[in-house]
Structure 1
Amino acid sequence: MSGTAVVLIIVVLLVLVALGVVLSRRRRSSQLQQHFGPEYERSVAATGDRRAAETELAERRQRREEFDVRDLSTEESGRFRESWNEIQRGFVDDPRQSLRSADLLVAEIMRARGYPVDDDFDRRADDLSVDHPRVVQHYREARKVRDADGEVDTESQRTGLTSYRSLINALLGDDADHDADHDARHAGTGRDDVRDDRSDVRPDDARADDDARRADDATDHTDGTQAGRHALHDEQRTTGPATDPTGQRSPRTEEHTR
């Protein structure tokens, strides 16, 4: 075999190896994208490097395999569901406390199911993303609202609580992962739900807006009435006393001028 043939064989082998590596990476990327969905794109955007993000996501899956995660019993699910209902009922009176209680309930359910909860929040969210990649972002958003400094408006707090609800539903096995976006926007109906209807939760700023609108309407009506009066007065002052078609003053006007 000539030296040229040997070189050609080596080149072909190297091309095949490189092609195999490229195909393997594409296959892994496709699998990770399909599994993690929006969490895949979030990780790529956060790292700014697709390969680094994929490596980190693969490590999450490997870590998750070490957990002994189990389903909850009917009794456990019922107990956690009742705890959640109590949290929702308390939202109107104390939204901040409801958010804190919801966060603690998530950790309690995770512990009962076998997830490690002693790590920091980011690690817990990463662990959950393997099983609930379409819900975990709601967990992050709810945590931001819970940890926000200063005053947080009621609407943001309500959104935070419904985000916790999406995750709790998924952890309790309600198959809410596939419909998380809809569940986060609609808290449902009934006394135990956190409604978007302002008739159930009337924050001070909503009442203030209504009062301001009523005050504006009253002002517009008053201004319109006064403007009409001024216009009539100006017209009478400009045109002078009213006269009949013959040019004579009306009796009432004549009497008034005497």
Structure 2
Amino acid sequence: MSRAVIIIAALVVATLLVVTAVLLAALGHRRIGGGLRRRFGPEYERLVTRHQGDTKAADRELDRRLKQHGSVRERPLSPASREQYAVQWAAIQKRFVDSPQEAVTEADALLARLTSDRGFPADGPFEERLAALSVHHAQHVDGYRGLHGAARGRGSTEENRRAMTGAGELFDALVAEQPADSGRHRPQRHQAGGGGPR
């Protein structure tokens, strides 16, 4: 074989190796990104929007959350604690009719206590608690984010109602039946007779 043929063959092989490596990296990123998209759902989409369409930046942030908060183990609540939380939430929903802003503020404080009791970070900024919650309850954190925002400002009654409804989904997930009592008791949230925010 001539020297030119050997050089051309080597260049073709090197080019094929580079193209293969690039394709494998792209497929691996798509597979990782797809897994994060499935796991985090609307939270993933919110981060992509916040990062102006940069899916790699959203993936990096969610990877950081998984590494930092993936080992959080939710502590179970006793049946009595769950019932007490359910009663308090129902009372806040009833209060919403006459004092929406006050009810939203109380609901935000109640959820902070509940998340702490379940083992999520209680100290530090709200966004860090939300990051930890997103690893375990990704489908419900946006409602909690809305409630926290509504508790900090004066939203309209309709905005406050939507915030309460969204946060109620996280509340339900956090007080739901847990392994500690093997399902012997599951509190039902009481609905205010047509007057609650839901």
- Note whether the superposition's TM-score is higher than 0.5: yes
Q: Deviation of residue 147 (structure 1)?
A: 1.2
**Which of these residues, 39, 45, 50, is aligned with residue 43 of structure 2?**
39
**Which residue number in structure 2 is paired with residue 52 of structure 1?**
57
**Which residue number in structure 2 is paired with residue 228 of structure 1?**
none
Preserved CA contact (<8 Å) 1:162 1:194: no
- C-alpha distance in structure 1 between counterparts of 2:190 and 2:79, whole Å: 23
**Which of these residues, 69, 72, 76, is aligned with residue 81 of structure 2?**
76
Query: What per-residue deviation string (whole Å, max 9, x for no partner) do you get for residues 81-108 of structure 1?
Result: 1221222232233322221111111111
Output the amino acid matched with 1:31: G
Preserved CA contact (<8 Å) 1:64 1:130: yes
**Which residue number in structure 2 is paired with residue 170 of structure 1?**
173
- C-alpha distance in structure 1 between counterparts of 2:93 and 2:133, whole Å: 23
Rg (Cα) greater in structure? 1
Moved more, 125-134 or 153-162: 153-162
Query: What per-residue deviation string (whole Å, max 9, x for no partner) do you get for residues 14-62 of structure 1?
Result: 2221111011011011111111111111111111122111111121122
Q: Does structure 1 residue 5 correspond to structure 2 residue 5? A: no
**Which residue number in structure 2 is paired with residue 142 of structure 1?**
147
**Which residue number in structure 2 is paired with residue 159 of structure 1?**
162
- C-alpha distance in structure 1 between counterparts of 2:107 and 2:57, whole Å: 33
Are residues 23 and 195 of structure 1, via their aligned partners in 2, closer, same or farther at CA, if it must alter by over 3 Å? closer
Aligned-partner SS, 1:66: coil
Q: Deviation of residue 191 (structure 1)?
A: 3.7
- C-alpha distance in structure 2 between counterparts of 1:64 and 1:194, whole Å: 34
Output the amino acid matched with 2:101: R
**Which residue number in structure 1 is paired with residue 183 of structure 2?**
none
What does residue range 81-100 of structure 1 map to in structure 2 within 5 Å?
81-100=86-105
**Which residue number in structure 1 is paired with residue 119 of structure 2?**
114
Query: What per-residue deviation string (whole Å, max 9, x for no partner) do you get for residues 145-198 of structure 1?
Result: 21114xx433333222222222211211269xxxxxxxxxxx9854496156xx
Q: Deviation of residue 67 (structure 1)?
A: 1.8
Aligned-partner SS, 1:90: helix
**Which residue number in structure 2 is paired with residue 27 of structure 1?**
31
TM-score by length of 1: 0.63
- C-alpha distance in structure 2 between counterparts of 1:193 and 1:131, whole Å: 31
Q: Deviation of residue 69 (structure 1)?
A: 2.1
Aligned-partner SS, 2:35: helix
Are residues 192 and 103 of structure 1, via their aligned partners in 2, closer, same or farther at CA, if it must alter by over 3 Å? farther
Higher RCO, Cα 8 Å, sep 6+: 2
Q: How many corresponding residue pairs?
A: 183
Output the amino acid matched with 2:122: V
Unaligned runs of 5+ in 2: 179-188
Are residues 192 and 104 of structure 1, via their aligned partners in 2, closer, same or farther at CA, if it must alter by over 3 Å? farther
Unaligned runs of 5+ in 1: 176-186, 197-258
